[in-house]
Amino acid sequence: MPIGASSIVGDSGDVKIMQSVSCTDIRELMGQGGQLVDVRTPMEFYQGALPGAVNIPLQAIDRAPDMLDRSKPVLVYCRSGQRSANARLWLHGMGYDTVLDLGTPRLFAQCLQRAQEDDRVRAPVGYASAPL
C-alpha cells in the first residue's frame, strides 16, 4: 500500500515519475543494495538519523560520486522533503539511474516498523526479525 512520496526512477536510461512509494518498493531497492542518504546538515544528522544512512548535505551533493555507487539505488530523505526532492534531481542529473525520494524519514521508519511487526506475526518463537 503506498504511503506517499514521489520519485524519479531511471530504468535502462528511461526516466519515470512515481507518484507514490510503497514499503515493498523500499524493500526491493534496499535488497538491491540501496544506499540510504540523509541530505540534512551534519548537525541535523548527528541529532538522529536512520540506521545505515550516510550524510551528504544538499549543499555538498556534488561530492556524491565520491561516496555513492552509481550502479546501486539511492534513497534520499531530509526533514521536510524539500531538500530530498532537490537532491533527487541533482543525483539523477549526475548519472544516478535509480533515485527514490523518501521525503521525510517517517516513511522509512514506518516501513521498518511494518516489517518488524510482520516478522513478529510470521516468525516462529525464538527467531529474530529480519531487517528491511
pTM of the model: 0.75
Instruction: Look at residue 128 and tell me if it is in a domain.
Output: no
Q: Is 37 helix (H, G, I), strand (E, B) or coil?
A: strand
Instruction: Look at residue 105 and tell me if it is in a domain.
Output: yes
**Residue 20 structural domain:** 7-121
Specify whether the CB–CB gap between 57 and 42 falls below 8 A: yes
pLDDT at 127: 39
- 44-to-26, 55, 57 alpha-carbon distances in Å: 23, 10, 10
Instruction: Look at residue 130 and tell me if it is in a domain.
Output: no
The mean pLDDT of the chain is 80
pLDDT at 9: 44
Instruction: Look at residue 114 and tell me if it is in a domain.
Output: yes
* Residue predicted with more confidence, 9 or 61: 61
Instruction: Look at residue 132 and tell me if it is in a domain.
Output: no
Instruction: Indicate the burial class of 87 (C-beta count within 10 angstroms; 0-12, 13-18, 19 or more).
Output: buried
pLDDT at 82 over 60: yes
How far apart CA 16 and CA 28 sit, in angstroms, is 17
pLDDT at 119: 63
How far apart CA 53 and CA 38 sit, in angstroms, is 6
Instruction: Look at residue 16 and tell me if it is in a domain.
Output: yes
Instruction: Look at residue 49 and tell me if it is in a domain.
Output: yes
Q: How many helices (H) does the chain have, and how many strands (E)?
A: 5, 6
* Residue predicted with more confidence, 22 or 15: 22
Q: In the structure, what pLDDT confidence band is assigned to residue 107 with cuts at 50, 70 and 90? A: confident
Domain count, the chain: 1
Q: Which of 5, 8, 61, 78 is catalytic?
A: 78
Q: Say which CATH number the domain at 112 has.
A: 3.40.250.10
Instruction: Look at residue 131 and tell me if it is in a domain.
Output: no
pLDDT at 126 over 80: no
Residue 111 appears among annotated catalytic residues: no
